[in-house]
Amino acid sequence: MATTAPRSGKQREAALALGLLGLAVLVVAIAFFSITQGARPITLETVWAALTAFDPQSTDHRIIWDLRLPRTIVGLLVGAALGLAGAVLQGATRNPLADPSILGIHAGAALFIVLGVAVLGITQLSMYVWLAFIGAAVAMLVVYSIASLGREGATPIKLALAGAAMTAALQSVVSAILLTSPRTLDEVRFWQVGSLAGRGMEIVIQVAPFLAVGIVLALVTGRMLDGLSMGEDVARSLGQNVGRSRAIAGLAAVILAGASTAAAGPIAFVGLTVPHVARAITGPNYRWILPYSMLMAPILLLGADVIGRVISPPGEVQVGIVTAFVGAPFFIALVRRRKLASL
């Protein structure tokens, strides 16, 4: 009996590590699939030739390098960011409904970007990133402050309600600005619904450093989130600084949500659904939930993007719309499950 439990634990760790390897292979496969699929199908042989021996005279090669490859890389980065942001927020708040879109973080980032375009005339993505950071941070602080009012503090239900109210309020302000400013609407209309279309390599270069910092910061919060998931009293008894842990987790979520919103717009439900699927596979250990979420979310996002490209050729359905169709039923089912009142 004494040796069975450790052996079983090692076997489970090995199985989870093997699962991560399998997900990494799937990420590579969906990336190649994303490059080959679209209004103009391209074979894998052509993709490989374009990557290894680029021919500037080839239309297919230019499509791959100028359109498909940057779009796929943005999808991989944004997907990983959204998956990690959702997992971090769910762990830090012990709220199964926590997600950048539900807690108002996406709406805050979107509002500041729209204000920057409408009031300041900003059109550079490099400025979008900073505006998104500020908006995401302000929205998160306001939501947490509102939910913290009262004797019981920021409970999961109060966080969800405060986030939903904040999201509705901010989205109404964004809609009012866009309705009264046709120039701003024309500038951000495709970005607002969440889209990977038209993203060039310059976007990858500008947001990649921020997303890299956010991803690393999120991955190192695993032990902190494990402590917070057992409750504040237990975390403190284990010597954990609860305030500092939540601040680090919040900073990681703001960086990830802000940079991903600046790059692809406010894409909903990816950060909500993926951590729950990861948790069902790995159990409650956030040191596994985080890397699983980081790899599963790009698979979902790129898969949704490919579906949006092929269902209505020669046009396409933006990825934010497809993920909403996928995520909304999951969200409804999640709300109806009483066992998920807290994590």
Helices and strands (H, E) in the chain, number of each type: 15, 0
- Parent domain of 55: 30-336
Query: Residue 13 domain-assigned?
Result: no
Query: Residue 19 domain-assigned?
Result: no
Gap between the Cα atoms of 161 and 164, Å rounded:
5
Query: Residue 90 domain-assigned?
Result: yes
CB count, 10 Å around CB of 329? Answer: 11
pLDDT below 70 — which residues of the chain? Answer: 1-7, 125-126, 152-156, 190, 331, 334-343
Query: Residue 179 domain-assigned?
Result: yes
Query: Residue 274 domain-assigned?
Result: yes
Number of domains in the chain: 1
Q: What is residue 154's predicted lDDT score, i.e. its pLDDT?
A: 64
Query: Residue 20 domain-assigned?
Result: no
DSSP 3-state of 309: helix
What is the CATH number for 131?
A: 1.10.3470.10
Gap between the Cα atoms of 207 and 259, Å rounded:
6
Query: Residue 127 domain-assigned?
Result: yes
- Amino acid sitting at position 277: V
- Amino acid sitting at position 287: R
Query: Residue 142 domain-assigned?
Result: yes
292-322 pLDDT, tens digit per residue, is: 999 999 999 999 999 988 887 777 888 888 8
Element (H, E) at 2: none
